[in-house]
Amino acid sequence: MPTDADLAVPAPYPLSAHLLVAVLLALLAWIAHATDLDHLLAQAAFDPVQRTFPARDWRLLGLVGHQLAKSAVWIIWFVLFAASIASLRLASLAPWRRVLWATTAAMAAGPALVSTLKLFTGPRCPWDLAEFGGTAVATSDWLVRGVEAGRCFPGGHASGGFSLLAIYFAGVMLADPRLRRVGLVAGLGAGVAFSAVRMVQGAHFLSHNLWSAFVVWTVAMVIFALAHPKAAPAFAASATQPA
């Protein structure tokens, strides 16, 4: 596997391609909401007779799909964080110090931003809405005062799964195709699975989770663009170009 030392003459960072993915995720999230796909999928998981989401009471799904799944991501992050700390002292890890810290930071920063946004965004969880057995009225306001926040948007659990996409960016930084594939499969697989769990439980609409993927991807893209020796100048240049 390549190391940080191999980045003395690094491969070009595919910033344009990563920006395109971010735009695509945002577009898919907008489509899911604008076409009412959000509500169609929520209605499929909702029991109109019992006025509830049956999967919300499935203990095994809650244990495996929510609690244990979240714990697994935390374990991966703590291993990476420990390796990052160790790279400051262990010569054997020093060659990967830059990519270890970038991966650790990206995995944490994306979900942290999602959690922060939930404190100031208006959209409600499906199970909160009157049409799905709750009492709240749907709102189109994204940013609201803290006391009015729905505390549901973007999708928090999904962000943990999508945070594994940081491994893909590590593969890009190290020019390692196998690590890129592992990161894509792990990040997209976990993100989609985590999203599906919370959607059938009535906790989130599809667009909530797509916006979560957008936030996590964009944060990781920025962190690795700044960490990559060759990408940072290009990223800074593109950020200062006039609109």
* pLDDT tens-place string over residues 22-81: 999 999 999 999 999 999 999 999 999 999 999 999 999 999 999 999 999 999 999 999
State the average pLDDT over residues 163-183.
Answer: 96
Q: Residue 178 pLDDT more than 80?
A: yes
Amino acid identity of residue 49, one-letter, is V
Q: Residue 145 pLDDT more than 90?
A: no
Q: Residue 243 pLDDT more than 60?
A: no
Instruction: Please report the pLDDT score of residue 234 as a whole number.
Output: 43
Kindly list the distances between the CA atom of residue 170 and the CA atoms of 15, 94, 179, 224, in Å, as whole numbers in the listed order: 14, 15, 7, 8
Rounded Cα gap, residues 44 and 35, in angstroms:
16
pTM above 0.85, yes or no: yes
For residues 153 and 210, is the Cβ–Cβ distance under 8 A? no
State the average pLDDT over residues 6-13.
Answer: 57
Rounded Cα gap, residues 199 and 75, in angstroms:
24
Amino acid identity of residue 159, one-letter, is S
Concatenate the DSSP letters of all residues of the chain into one string: ---GGGGGSPPPP-HHHHHHHHHHHHHHHHHHHHTTHHHHHHHHH-BTTTTB-GGGG-HHHIIIIIIIHHHHHHHHHHHHHHHHHHTTT-TTTGGGHHHHHHHHHHHHHHHHHHHHHTTSB-PPPGGGBGGGTSSB-----SB--GGG--S-SS-HHHHHHHGGGHHHHHHHHTT-HHHHHHHHHHHHHHHHHHHHHHHHTTS--HHHHHHHHHHHHHHHHHHHHHHSTTHHHHHHHHHHS--
Sign of the C-alpha dihedral computed for residues 89, 92, 98 and 101 taken in this order: negative
pLDDT band (50, 70, 90) for residue 238? very low
Q: What are phi and psi of 123, to 5 degrees?
A: -55, 140
pLDDT band (50, 70, 90) for residue 1? low
